[in-house]
Amino acid sequence: MTTRINNNTLAIKPRRRRAVTLAGVAALLVGFGLVANALAGTLLGTKHDFTGLNQRAGVVAMPGLAFSDFGTSCVYCHLPPERPELDSADNGGNPGWNRFIPAQGAYDLYDSRTLDNKVRAPSPISLLCLSCHDGTMGVDMTVFKPDGWESSKDAAMHLRLNGGDDLMSCGKCHNGRVAHSIAIKHIGTDLTNDHPFSMTYAGLTDKDQDFRTPDGHYGFDNGIKLYDGKVECATCHNVHDPDITLLLRDRADRLCETCHIK
Ligand code: HEC
Ligand code: HEC
Ligand code: HEC
Ligand code: HEC
Ligand code: HEC
């Protein structure tokens, strides 16, 4: 893994953050049983730190009003750690994640004449991202709510990450006037213009001259990850790291040449 995720960062990062949240996260990390790898769980200060948005933005518009405030930012993606026996797949969810799967065939996937490994269907780990970024489901539409959640605490609205100007969409405020436009984060379901993902990495063997061979089964030593030999959203993005631009695992100018030789 990258040197970013180590104990030094643990000492440095928390200073900017709220003690109360840190305590909560520490407890959660114990719940994940991954204390040694604690920094992998740091998400605070990123745009995915949903429970902290109001405080950071200095408004009361988001958690609790535009979407339900579950009290911890992890459960918007992860299964509640206090109940490890839960399986979201039994409830129509994305296996291993606390999100639902979009309708089958919802996506137009990338294709081209020169593409060697066609994308058949997005993998679960990328469907996780799309469940918010395609703009079709509320950001608080999780399969399980955390323990102790009562529906009386439900938010008035369950807005979607969508640039639309309606009461279903964050774009109601996030239109570039009331608040920054959210449209660029809204990837939608037409993925034909985005970098392909969920395809087998063409450089797995050294036969393809256009692609570098990975440093290991995990991917590349600069932190670019492969998942079962495939490229996924999380290959290029690390959602847990608050200190990197657009959550990119390497600088944009170096990212592409990690894999592409020309
Ligand atoms: C936006 C979705 C999202 C949120 C929110 C989120 N995670 Fe994750 N988490 C992921 C993804 C995707 C992975 C697997 C990615 C990877 O390989 O780095 C992951 C992996 C992990 C891992 C395993 C890391 C490893 O190296 O195997 C831990 C621990 C973790 N998350 C903890 C947390 C904690 C604690 C929080 C809340 C503070 C949190 N996550 C919030 C998406 C999320
Ligand atoms: C629960 C909903 C949700 C999930 C799941 C989710 N995101 Fe996001 N993501 C958001 C929101 C909300 C924003 C912030 C939008 C804004 O700032 O306008 C965001 C922002 C981002 C950004 C821009 C960050 C920045 O600093 O500007 C990236 C990149 C991103 N997400 C990638 C991912 C990836 C990769 C995954 C899957 C591992 C993922 N997201 C899963 C809701 C989600
Ligand atoms: C009632 C208006 C309103 C609604 C609805 C709203 N927001 Fe916001 N949001 C704001 C304002 C105002 C800010 C601060 C100014 C800015 O960032 O442009 C903000 C800031 C943010 C930030 C940046 C926080 C930071 O610290 O960087 C994110 C991310 C965000 N909103 C996500 C969302 C998402 C996702 C939704 C829908 C689920 C949403 N907002 C709905 C008004 C709103
Ligand atoms: C091959 C690497 C790569 C893959 C795979 C990838 N991204 Fe990105 N992503 C980038 C780069 C580079 C940028 C910044 C430049 C740009 O906007 O194109 C970016 C930008 C973003 C942004 C922010 C847009 C903005 O400019 O604010 C979001 C959100 C995002 N990606 C989500 C995703 C999701 C969701 C997936 C999977 C469906 C994904 N990415 C797959 C490399 C990647
Ligand atoms: C993790 C490795 C990886 C990274 C990083 C990466 N790519 Fe790719 N890229 C691939 C793979 C694999 C393919 C599909 C190749 C195939 O199967 O033919 C691909 C396909 C493409 C294609 C489509 C080619 C075609 O034949 O249709 C373009 C364009 C592209 N990448 C540009 C970029 C750019 C620009 C960046 C940097 C922002 C980038 N890639 C980063 C692995 C990567």
Give the pair of three-digit tokens for residue 118: 């066609």
Say if residue 91 is in the same domain as residue 211: no
* pTM summary value: 0.91
Q: Is the CB of 224 under 6 A from ligand 1?
A: no
Q: Is the CB of 76 under 6 A from ligand 1?
A: yes
Give the pair of three-digit tokens for residue 199: 């395809």
Mean pLDDT lowest for which of 24-38, 75-89, 188-202, 213-227?
Answer: 24-38
Say if residue 78 is in the same domain as residue 129: yes
Say if residue 233 is in the same domain as residue 185: no
Q: Is the CB of 170 under 6 A from ligand 4?
A: no
Please state the atom number of ligand 2 nearest to the C-alpha of residue 50: 12
Q: Is the CB of 175 under 6 A from ligand 5?
A: no
Identify the domain containing residue 221 by its residue range.
Answer: 201-262
Please state the atom number of ligand 3 nearest to the C-alpha of residue 159: 38
Place of tokens 């518009």: 61
- Segment 104-163, tens digit of pLDDT: 788 999 998 888 888 888 999 999 999 999 999 999 999 999 988 998 999 999 999 999
Nearest residue to 98 via CA among 146, 28, 165: 146
Q: How many domains does the chain have?
A: 3
User: Which of 36-40, 162-166, 204-208 has the highest average model confidence (pLDDT)?
Assistant: 162-166
Say if residue 251 is in the same domain as residue 154: no
Nearest residue to 99 via CA among 172, 44, 161: 161
Residue 7 has pLDDT above 50, yes or no: no
Say if residue 31 is in the same domain as residue 1: yes
Residue 23 has pLDDT above 80, yes or no: no
* Domain edge (last residue) among 192, 215, 236: 192
List Cβ neighbours of 211 (8 Å cut-off, separation of 6 or more).
Answer: 201, 202, 203, 259, 260, 261
* Domain edge (last residue) among 192, 222, 245: 192
Contact 214, 203 (CB under 8 A): yes
Contact 158, 140 (CB under 8 A): yes
Protein residue closest via CA to atom 28 of ligand 1:
41
Say if residue 133 is in the same domain as residue 12: no
Say if residue 241 is in the same domain as residue 209: yes
Contact 189, 134 (CB under 8 A): yes
